[in-house]
A and B are shown apart, each in its own frame.
Chain A
Amino acid sequence: MRFFALLVAVFSTLLTAGEIPLAERRSGYEFMSRETRAMQDDEATGPALFSLLDGEALWSRKEGQPGVACASCHASMKGVAVRYPKVESGRAVNLEQQINFCRTGRQKAPAWAYESRELLALTAYVARQSRGMPIAIEWNEATAPFLEAGRAAFNRRQGQLNLSCAQCHDDNWGKRLAGSVIPQAHPTGYPIYRLEWEGVGSLQRRLRNCLAGIRAETLPYGAQELVELEFFLMWRANGMRLETPAVRP
C-alpha cells in the first residue's frame, strides 16, 4: 500500500512539474478574439504574409562564395520546425541558430543578426512548412540535461516581481492580467506576428518581453539559457499543432 502511494506521488510530481496534460493544452489562439483568429487563419491577407514572401525569396537566393541557395541542398523543410530546438555538438540549438550555422558553414556567408528581417523571414518560411504538424520534442538521454535546465528556469522565481513563469502560465492561465487573458504560453506559432510589435518576431524576443515584464534580467539573444527555456517550452507543448506564422496580441 505504501509502495503504491509512493508510486502515485512520484508519478504526479513528474506530471505537475511544468507539464499541462495533453488533453488540457490550449494554444494562445484559443485565448484570442474571433477577429484576431481570423487574421491568423486567412493566410492570403494575414499580416505575416510579407515576411513569408521574403523568406520564400531568400530560400532560393544564391549566397556567399560557393553561390549556393538553401534550395540547392534542401528540398522540403516539412517536419523540421516541430523538432527544434535540438542538441547539436553538446549544445541546445534553435532553428534561427541552425539557419545561421548553414549560412556561415555551408554558404560561407555572414550570419544574420537575431531579429533581422532576413533571419525572421527565412525562419518563418521554414517553420511554415510544418504548419499543422504536431510538435515532437524527445526527452531522452541526450536532451535531458538541457530540458531539465529549461524546466528549472521555467519554475524559478526571478526578477523584482519574484515571479516564475509557472506561476502565471501553469497556475493562473485563463485568468486576466490587466485586461489581457493569461495564456498557457505554448510556442506553437513562432515566429509570430505580434500585434503589439506590429511586426514579426521570434520566441526569444517574446521571452525577453516577459523577462522585462517581471523586471528580471533580459538575457541576450542566443544565450544558452534562453535556448534551453525555448527547448523546454516546445517539449511542454508536445503534441500541439504548429501554427506558424501565428498572430498574437
Chain B
Amino acid sequence: MTSRRRFLALVSGALAAGEVSAQLDPNIQALRAAALESAIRKVTGGKPVREGKVKLDLPPLVDNGNTVPLSVSVASPMTSADHVKAIHVLTEKNPQPYVVSAYLGPRAGRASIATRARIADTGKVIAIAQLSDGSFWSATVSVVVTLSACLEEGLI
C-alpha cells in the first residue's frame, strides 16, 4: 500500500525526468527553432550568413524521412587563398539541428560532399559554407516528409 506522500514523490519525480516532458511540450516547434538558431550562431560565431554560392540538392518530396540522399557543392576555386573550410548541414524539425559538418581545404580540389540524412518532418534543410576569408554562405531547401504507408508499429 503506497502512502500518499510516496505516491506524490514518485509522480513528481517522473515529471521532473525532463525527457518525458520534452516529448509532450506544446512549445516543441519554438524550442526546435530556437535550437536551430543557436546552432547556426555557434557554427558562424555570430557572423552574418548570406544566401548564395552554395548548392544544396535533395528531393523536395522525400520517399522516406529515414534516408534522404543529399549533396552540397560550393562554387569555389579551392586554392590556398580562396577555398571552403567547412560545410555544415542543419535541419529545422529534427530533435537536434545538426546533420553533418565536413571540413575541407585546398586539397579537396572541389567543394562537394554527398551523404544520406534523416529528416523527421516537413521543413527546411540548411547548408552553410565557411570560406577561407571568414565569410559564411548558405542555401536553404524546403522538403516535404510524409509517413510511410503500412508501418510495422512494433511488429516484426
Contacts and interface: CB of A to CB of B under 8 A. Distances in A.
Direct contact of A and B (CB under 8 A): yes
Contact of B63 (A32, A177, A182, A212): A32
B61 A209 contact: no
A33 B151 contact: no
Interface string A214-233: 00001000000000000000
A178 interface: yes
Interface residues of A, number: 26
Contacts of A36: 59, 63-64, 69
Interface string B53-79: 000001101111011110000000000
A196 B155 contact: no
Contacts of A195: 63-64, 66-67, 148
A63 interface: no
B9 interface: no
B127 to A, nearest CB: 16
B150 A212 contact: yes
Contacts of A178: 146-147, 149
B153 interface: yes
B152 interface: yes
B94 to A, nearest CB: 16
Nearest to B61: A33
A86 B105 CA distance: 57
B156 interface: yes
A198 interface: yes
Interface string A70-94: 0000000000000000000000000
B66 A198 contact: yes
Nearest to B154: A212
Contacts of A179: 61, 144, 146-147
A212 B149 contact: no
A38 B63 CA distance: 13
B67 A212 contact: no
B82 to A, nearest CB: 31
Given A33-B62, A180-B63, 14 more contacts: A34-B59, A35-B58, A35-B63, A35-B69, A36-B69, A39-B116, A178-B146, A179-B61, A195-B64, A196-B64, A196-B152, A197-B152, A198-B67, A213-B150
Interface of A: 32-36, 38-39, 47, 115, 177-180, 182, 195-198, 205, 208-210, 212-213, 218, 249
The list of the 8 closest CB pairs from A to B, nearest first, reads: A179-B146, A213-B150, A195-B64, A249-B63, A249-B64, A35-B69, A196-B148, A180-B149
